[in-house]
A and B are shown apart, each in its own frame.
Chain A
Amino acid sequence: MIRTEKLEFTIGDFNLRDLNLEIPEKTYFVMLGPPGSGKTVFLECLCGLKRPRQGRIFIDGKNVTTLEPRKRGIGYVPQDYALFPHLSVEKNIAFGLRNAGHDSRSNRRKITQIAEMLTISGLLERNVTDLSGGEKQRTALARALVVEPEVLLLDEPVCALDEGTRQTVCAMLLDIQRKLRLTVIHVSHNLEEAFSVADRAAILNQGILQQVGPLGQLLRKPQNEFVARFMRCENIFTEQQDVKLARPHPGKAGMMIRPENILLLPIDECGTEYENQFIVEIARYRDFGAYVKVELAGPLNLVAHLTHAAFERLQIEPGRQVKAVLPPQSIHTFHP
């Protein structure tokens, strides 16, 4: 398990503040946050490249806060991979093994194994400057994994890749994590990427940890407006005088409902059994392939995501009125 206690780090105007986090062993953990939120600084503190101003870091119960990076048993893949440009792919992979002082036959075997696992056996003699983005990524991964770390830290590992390669690589990362039973901490600002790999996730903003938990919880039960917005929920309201919403926890003033949970009905459809019904007008819509995003104007401005079937059935077009239902059980409340 990785545990941080009241971790604080300051660089210029930026502060990583009072970061308390527990990452269970053999978990694929994703640290999410917008650019500049402190994700990379957090990783660098974990692997010993930055010294925290305050707080402690524990890996498997051992306090490693003041331990040198080489003694932490951590593999690190920085953003853009930082492959050594003066070494071939094979020598890049062998770099850490040479420091460990293993015999050359065992090193050779390990390099072959990891290269086969990451399908880069044919690239070993190549210069790293001649590799594609995906090949560089796999080489950097092989270099970090070949020394058999307990923990693997990945800083935006797929952000430099194209969409298709990104999905393949995410699947590969998850596969490797499961196969090698590693604790992986993956830093990203991309939600799709997180959904494709994460067992658990956290959201960081301006150096402050906002929420930790399974992604489904971050998605449906955000603790604050920032988390809700980061998880792409646009239907966020505070208590309004003119619109009363039935909701599970009336004491909390912040409310959100996910766009996919809003029910749209034809205006003439009888629906008296529903609470939280409004007549709204369709302002505009856009087809995103998997769903259609519909913007609605009314007592509450709403965004709904519809399936194509629902979209066809409701004959959505701008200016048309429909009935919007916000089921109380789908409304999540929080302190704003």
Chain B
Amino acid sequence: MSNACNSPLRSWRDIVFAAAALAFLIVFVAFVLLLIIADAFYIDRKAVLTVINSGFIRHALWMSLWTSCLTTLIAVLFAVPIGYSLSRYRFPGRALADTIVDLPIVFPPLVAGLTLLVFFSQTDFGKWIQNDLGIEFVFRKKGIILCQFLVSASFAIRSAKIAFDEVDRRFENVALTLGCTRFRAFRRVSLPLALNGVIAGAILTWARAFGLFGPLLIFVGSFRGRTEVLSTTVFLEQSVGNIEVALAVAMLMIVVAVIALTTIHLVGGRTQVKL
């Protein structure tokens, strides 16, 4: 009752408006749930046992988890300084840099994989990195992380930039008059205030990296026990006709993603995705 007393007076038009907005939410959530339920009903006990007992799938799960987490960490390490620079500094070519940062978001996934493959196998610079420096990416685990980073880091960067844009510069200015250097003002004021946005970007990055498929298939392949991740497992299983197992792996991915996102939300507290 107290809530009702505190809320503003509502006419029937307001109620219709709220109901219409909620109706869209209900339709979307129901659609997603229906798809998941349909998958769940398609899976039989044998498929679930296959997933649980398969060493390759356990390896792919572990591979998916650690590569996506490491990619997220690297992406955030890049996103914070890049987001801050784009937000705070004016320099020649800034608008171009800002556009290029977003480019990987609109890359068709297969193009990203193909581009990486061409760069490392066909260009002199790419060959120098692989052959002379000995840092091999093509068909290697390192390639998984590079692929995930290329495709998903933009989310972290864009989110960090928006988060720093929202931090009023006057906070930093006051910090400067209170004895801070630029870096200290960044560390003690701007970064804590932008942290929610940075975490939001990290969540998006992780989700994108965890579910990545197309570029990985082209750039690192899907070698069982070596470069296989859960998304490529789904492809491998369905390509040999094991639809139930493929769906069981897909369900495993959904469960892992839900657990991870819920944990991040609980740990992050007030974190909100602002893209």
Task: Identify which of residues 136-163 in chain A touch chain B, using a CB-to-CB cut-off of 8 Å.
Answer: 143-144, 147
Q: How far is the CA of A211 from the CA of B175 in the complex (A)?
A: 33
- Chain A window 98-133, contacts with chain B (Cβ cutoff 8 Å), 1 for yes, 0 for no: 011000000000000000000000000000000000
A178 within 8 Å of B (CB atoms): no
B176 touches A95 (CB 8 A): no
**Given contacts A70-B180, A82-B168, are A95 and B175 in contact (CB under 8 A)?**
yes
- Closest chain-A Cβ to B185's Cβ sits at a distance in Å of 9
Task: Identify which of residues 175-229 in chain B touch chain A, using a CB-to-CB cut-off of 8 Å.
Answer: 175-181, 184, 188-189, 192-193
- Interface residues contributed by chain B, number (CB under 8 Å): 17
Q: Which of A68, A69, A75 has the most CB of B within 10 A?
A: A69
A74 within 8 Å of B (CB atoms): yes
A68 touches B168 (CB 8 A): no
Closest to B170 in A: A82
**Interface band, chain A:** 20 to 34
B171 touches A82 (CB 8 A): yes
- Chain A window 45-80, contacts with chain B (Cβ cutoff 8 Å), 1 for yes, 0 for no: 001110000000000000000001110101110101
Q: How far is the CA of A159 from the CA of B189 in the complex (A)?
A: 25
Out of A68, A75, A84, A143, which one reaches B189, CB within 8 Å? A84
A96 touches B179 (CB 8 A): yes
A82 touches B179 (CB 8 A): no
B34 within 8 Å of A (CB atoms): no
B173 within 8 Å of A (CB atoms): yes
Which residues of A lie under 8 Å from residue B273 when comparing CB positions? none
B174 within 8 Å of A (CB atoms): yes
- Closest chain-A Cβ to B15's Cβ sits at a distance in Å of 32
Tally of A-B Cβ pairs under 8 angstroms: 57
A179 within 8 Å of B (CB atoms): no
Closest to B195 in A: A86
B173 touches A78 (CB 8 A): yes
Q: How far is the CA of A147 from the CA of B176 in the complex (A)?
A: 13
B171 touches A47 (CB 8 A): no
Task: Identify which of residues 52-82 in chain B touch chain A, using a CB-to-CB cut-off of 8 Å.
Answer: none
A24 within 8 Å of B (CB atoms): no
A82 touches B173 (CB 8 A): yes
Closest to A140 in B: B174
**Given contacts A86-B192, A86-B193, A95-B188, are A70 and B177 in contact (CB under 8 A)?**
yes
- Closest chain-B Cβ to A79's Cβ sits at a distance in Å of 8
Closest to B193 in A: A86
10 A-B contact pairs sorted by A residue (CB < 8 Å): A48-B176, A49-B173, A70-B177, A70-B178, A72-B177, A76-B173, A80-B170, A95-B178, A143-B174, A144-B177
Which 9 A/B pairs are nearest by Cβ-Cβ distance? A99-B179, A96-B178, A76-B177, A82-B170, A69-B176, A70-B179, A69-B177, A82-B174, A86-B192
> B residues near A, CB below 8 A?
168, 170-171, 173-181, 184, 188-189, 192-193
> A residues near B, CB below 8 A?
44, 47-49, 68-70, 72, 74-76, 78, 80, 82, 84-86, 95-96, 99-100, 143-144, 147
Given A70-B178, A75-B177, A99-B178, 20 additional A-B pairs, CB 8 A:
A44-B173, A47-B177, A48-B176, A48-B177, A49-B177, A70-B176, A70-B179, A70-B180, A70-B181, A80-B170, A82-B168, A82-B170, A82-B171, A82-B174, A84-B171, A85-B193, A96-B179, A99-B179, A99-B184, A143-B178
